[in-house]
Amino acid sequence: MTKKVLVICGTGIATSTVVAMKIQDFCKSRNISVVVSQGKVMDIVRGIIGYDLIVSTTPVPSTITIPVIEGLPFLTGIGLDATLEKIAQALS
């Protein structure tokens, strides 16, 4: 079953593109079927449905009920392996 991941950053452009590509590559290497979309925080504030996971490089409102994984390690490299494992677990 294909899982849906939403990657969000402040503007939904540059940072989310980098993170989305890394998630796609990782999932491909693990044979995890995934569709990765990009967006900005305002997209989730307006309401989103149908996603299995959000990976965010910016704070997410506590009212969001979809599981959220902090995406900052994709930019810093610190804790990236652990973050990728969290993503794999969330999508399995």
3-class SS shares of the chain: helix, strand, coil, % to 5: 40, 25, 35
Catalytic residues: 9
**Residue 38 dihedral angles phi and psi, to the nearest 5°:** -120, 150
Q: How many other C-beta atoms can be found within 10 angstroms of the C-beta atom of residue 51?
A: 17
